[in-house]
Structure 1
Amino acid sequence: MSTIRLHRTTTLTPEQYIAGLTDFGPGRAKLFGNSADEYLKVHHKGRSHADVTEGSSGIWERLTYDWSDPHRVVLTTTDSNVWGGASGHTYSFTRRPDGTTDIDAAVVREGKDFKGWILGLVLKTIGKRVLKRAFEKSVDAIEIGTPL
């Protein structure tokens, strides 16, 4: 199992980042490169929860999104072609006195088969840079108001 921890301080409020994170409209890949339109399927979306399948490059996962806590968003993997077990993402938000927000993200990857195990091993080594770039790109895109 791999756990990758990411951090970014941003001018966004938690509400602004959560709004971008939970916008499942077409063009989502502009904000989140690992969520290509051809994989995106919203099974259900409520006021603070969603059931969504997304992915890219042959890897997909079905996630339950929970943003009922304004300080935290939890994405739990419920099905995937490579991820299982405790896989998912957690975003935590801390408002700073200067008006900025700290975003801490934890990405947990537990392979459910040989391919997932290998991908998890890659994430432990060189994959953190890729995930960090993708995370920072999403924060930057939301900061500048990239439309979906």
Structure 2
Amino acid sequence: MSTIHLHRTTWLTPEQYVAGLTDFGPGRSRLFSNSADAHLKVHDRGPSHADVTEGSNGIWERLHYDWSNPDHVVLTTTDSNVWGGRSGHTYSFTRRPDGTTDIDVVVVRDGKNAKGRILGLVLRTIGSGVLEKAFENSVNAIEQRHADPRQRGRIAA
């Protein structure tokens, strides 16, 4: 099992990032590269939850999204062709006094078959940079959705 911790400080509010995270419409792949539009299927959606299958490059997972707590969003893997066990994503948001937000993400990858175990090993060793880059790109893309010239230059790494 691999557990990867990601962090980013942004001028986005938690609500703005969660709005992007839970936007399952066309163009989702521009926000989350591992969610190809052609593989996206929303099975159920409520005011603070969704049941979604998404993936790309031959890897897919069905996720239960729970954003009932706006400062702590949990994505639980309920089915996948490679991930099982405790797999999923947890997003935690901390509002800072300067108006920025810390986003902390914990990604758990528990391989349920040989392919999943190999991918988990790769993530644990050399592949965590791929997830870091994908997370960075998602924050940047959501910032662009909310671009305000007054905010540019305030983006913290």
Q: Which runs of 5+ in 1 are unaligned?
A: none
Task: State the one-letter code of the partner of 1:116.
Answer: G
* Cα distance in 2, alignment partners of residues 38 and 14 from structure 1: 28
> Which amino acid letter does the alignment assign opposite residue 140 of structure 2?
D
Aligned partners of 1:114, 1:43: CA distance in 2, in Å?
28
Deviations 1:66-124 (A, max 9, x none): 00001110000000000000000000000000000000000000000000000000000
1:48-127 map, 5 Å: 48-127=48-127
Q: Which SS does the other structure have where 2:145 is aligned?
A: coil
Counterpart of 1:43 in structure 2 is 43
Give the C-alpha shift of residue 38 in structure 1: 1.2
What is the rounded CA distance, in whole Å, between the counterparts of 1:14 and 1:74 in structure 2? 14
Instruction: State the AA in 2 paired with 1:112.
Output: K
Distance 1:24 1:34 in 2: 13
> How far apart in 1 are the matches of 2:126 and 2:140?
22
The corresponding residue for 1:22 is 22
Distance in 2 of aligned mates of 1:76 and 1:70: 16
TM-score using structure 2 length: 0.92
**Structure 2 spans left out of the alignment, 5+ residues:** 147-157
1:128 maps to 128
* Distance apart, 1:127 and its partner CA: 1.1
How many residues are aligned here?
A: 146
Residue of structure 1 equivalent to 2:34: 34
Taking the aligned partners of 1:141 and 1:117, their CA distance within structure 2 comes to: 30
Q: Give the secondary structure class of the aligned counterpart of 1:115.
A: helix
Deviation at 1:65, TM superposition (A): 0.0
Partner of 2:155: none
Residues in 1 aligned to 2:115 and 2:140: alpha-carbon distance in whole angstroms: 31
What's the Cα RMSD here? Answer: 0.7
Q: Distance in 2 between matches of 1:77 and 1:141?
A: 24
Letter in 2 for 1:59: I
Structure (1 or 2) with the larger CA radius of gyration: 2
Identical-residue share of aligned pairs (%):
77
